[in-house]
Structure 1
């Protein structure tokens, strides 16, 4: 691959996917919403959730802390297929989740993505979450309490 634009597009799309994972881990739902086109969709058939548009994506995310005690998502690069100002791709992930109701989830999943080049860079046009493996055995570990803040 020697086309500089294709290389730049791939780097930018990979950065978009990394930004999504970071925003999810930091519970920054405003940032997550900003990573989608204005009519972008986040679809999670196993949840089930079909969320369209930045306002709905942000609002859905803001409800997550009410349902989720802790969440760790590790996302791994997958394929990116460029098509001019659009692209498709997949990213692979593992998640550990404990819900507020005490249930647990260890899963391996795939994000099936559609990307759109915009004036603000690459954005998700659609992100579909497909669980490939789910283990609901109670997790043995716990999330540590937040660290104490020291003032000087």
Structure 2
């Protein structure tokens, strides 16, 4: 394989991993990991029906932990996506499936798509802008038992943040 193709595959794999880490950080309400995924001047846009916008990775980290604290449980699963790399910039699209239940007992189910702009800084891909588009939303009755996401060992968490 030629070097250019190898680099393209490595970049695409790193970007897919970044999207997976985003879901993992949200599922575990891990503000530090969430913050590590963004460029300093990153922008997170959540479209209809929520219509919220966040700028700067420190503020986004606090906001996501607060928002996720409103749920008894929240699970986001990253699905298929498309990645286009252009040097140290990239564009991607990932579909996500979200299941949650609020403290009030109301369920929330979303099928959505993230539209991403990414930048490579110090050999690491980061989100520059992440825009969330809801495709389908429902409010099912989730009456099941919530056990929560188990803690992961600190060493594994740190390795995940540094990849």
- The alignment yields a C-alpha RMSD, in angstroms, of 1.9
d(CA) in 1 for partners of 2:39, 2:148: 36
Partner of 2:75: 72
Structure 1 unmatched runs, 5+: 148-152
**Structure 1 position 110 matched with structure 2 position 133:** no
How far does residue 80 in structure 1 lie from its aligned partner after superposition?
A: 0.2
Partner of 2:60: 57
Structure 2 unmatched runs, 5+: 151-163
Say if 1:112 and 1:48 are closer, same or farther in 2 by CA, change over 3 A.
same
In the TM superposition, 1:86-125 aligns within 5 A as 86-119=89-122, 121-125=124-128
Judge which range, 136-145 or 16-25, deviates more: 136-145
Say if 1:146 and 1:31 are closer, same or farther in 2 by CA, change over 3 A.
closer
How far does residue 122 in structure 1 lie from its aligned partner after superposition?
A: 0.3
Partner of 2:11: 9
TM, length-normalised to structure 2: 0.83
d(CA) in 1 for partners of 2:69, 2:16: 30
d(CA) in 1 for partners of 2:140, 2:86: 42
Judge which range, 62-71 or 15-24, deviates more: 62-71
How far does residue 65 in structure 1 lie from its aligned partner after superposition?
A: 4.3
Partner of 1:43: 45
Residues paired across the two proteins, number: 147
Say if 1:133 and 1:99 are closer, same or farther in 2 by CA, change over 3 A.
same
d(CA) in 2 for partners of 1:104, 1:79: 29
TM, length-normalised to structure 1: 0.88
Q: Write out per-residue CA displacement over residues 44-98 of structure 1, whole angstroms, 9 at most, x where no aligned residue.
A: 1232220111111111022134311101111113000111110101111111111
Contact 1:14 1:77 in 2 (8 A): no
- The structure carrying a bigger helix percent of its residues is 2
Partner of 1:138: 141
Contact 1:66 1:100 in 2 (8 A): no
